[in-house]
Amino acid sequence: MLLGLTGSIGCGKSTALKYFREYGALVVDVDSLVKKLLSSDKEVQEAIDRHFGNKAKDNANRIDRGKLAHIIFNDPKEREWLENLLHPRVQLMWQSLVKADPDSFWVIEIPLLFEKKLEKLFDFSVCIASSTPLQVKRLRERGLDEGDINARIANQISTFNKIERADFVLTNNGNIDFLQEQVNRLCHQLNHS
């Protein structure tokens, strides 16, 4: 079984992924794969260095993910360039993990699952949804300002659109016990169907 987990930023995908792991699924957070590429893949680092120069670096001459995020979430062409560099590599990474253990129950967290039309690669898609005010509150708690929040939300299709396209929708409006219960119920349903 291969599930694609998605949802808008700040809706609780990482929390849900933790609950899928606790249930017994093998999980992959593609954002962690991106972080790995940015911190350790020389080819990726050199390409970013050539393209962005010092605009995306910290004082120690390393890629600064915050600076890079600010650039790409405010310039669609730069975002497209970076996605074209990273996304094929990330997809190969998670697909090789799944290929190494194809009989397991896998959940792959992909924020841009529908935006990049990747849902066809999965048995089912699962959307984590929450109210917009709660989503914004969570993003503020992460330290994002209003401009960054609006830019990041604007770069994804709406939560409503993701709900419409997903095979399953789990609600995360504050009570994490309820989210865990939904994850467990879905896993049980899928494993016994």
| The CATH number of the domain covering residues in 1-25+105-193 | 3.40.50.300
Beta-strand relationship, 106-109 and 2-6: parallel
Q: What is the 3-state secondary structure (H, E, C) of the chain?
A: CEEEEECCCCCCHHHHHHHHHHHCCEEEEHHHHHHHHHHHCHHHHHHHHHHHHHHHECCCCCECHHHHHHHHCCCHHHHHHHHHHHHHHHHHHHHHHHHHCCCCCEEEECCCCCCCCCHHHCCEEEEEECCHHHHHHHHHHCCCCHHHHHHHHHCCCCHHHHHHHCCEEEECCCCHHHHHHHHHHHHHHHHCC
User: How much is the pLDDT for 148?
Assistant: 84
> What residues does each domain of the chain span?
1-25+105-193, 39-104
Task: Answer yes or no: is pLDDT of 193 > 80.
Answer: no
- pLDDT tens per residue across span 53-109: 889 999 888 999 989 998 998 899 999 999 999 999 999 999 999 999 999 999 999
Cα 139–chain centre separation: 14
- Per-residue pLDDT reduced to its tens digit, 97-108: 999 999 999 999
pTM confidence score:
0.91
Contact 16/96 with Cβ under 8 angstroms? Answer: no
Q: 4-29: per-residue pLDDT in tens?
A: 999 998 899 999 999 999 999 999 99
pLDDT of 110-157, one tens digit each? Answer: 999 999 999 999 999 999 999 989 988 998 998 888 888 888 888 789
pLDDT of residue 114: 95
CATH code for the domain defined by 39-104 = 3.40.50.300
